[in-house]
Amino acid sequence: MTAIERREVALVDLLDRLLAGGVVITGDITLRIADVDLVRIDLNALISSVNTQVPSPFGELL
């Protein structure tokens, strides 16, 4: 094993790295009976941290 393979990363550090760059989650679910679509659910989510260097895309809502 190399030094990189043996390195352990804490879950908190992993989440911090993911949120710093942002994570996009997408998915589709379709409930269908006899080739007739009954229910369709689309999921699109952007998860990211917000700070002074990376402001909120929604601005001030007040």
- Read out DSSP for 1-13? --HHHH----HHH
43 assigned to some structural domain: yes
Domain of residue 20, residue span: 3-47
Separation CA 28–CA 30 (nearest Å): 7
Residue 32 lies in a domain: yes
Q: What is the pTM of this model?
A: 0.42
Does 58 map to a domain? Answer: no
pLDDT (tens digit, 9 = 90+) per residue, 2-16? Answer: 555 666 777 778 777
Q: State how many domains the chain has.
A: 1
Examine residue 27 and state whether it is found in any structural domain, yes or no: yes
**For 28-60, what is each residue's pLDDT tens digit?**
999 999 988 899 999 888 777 766 666 666 766
pLDDT of residue 5: 62
Position 52 in a domain? no
Measured distance CA(43)–CA(28) in Å, rounded:
6
- Residues whose CB falls within 8 Å of the CB of residue 22, separated by 6 or more in sequence, listed in order: 46, 47, 48
Output the pLDDT for position 47.
Answer: 78
**Residue 13 to residues 9, 10, 17, 60: CA-CA distances in angstroms?**
7, 5, 6, 29
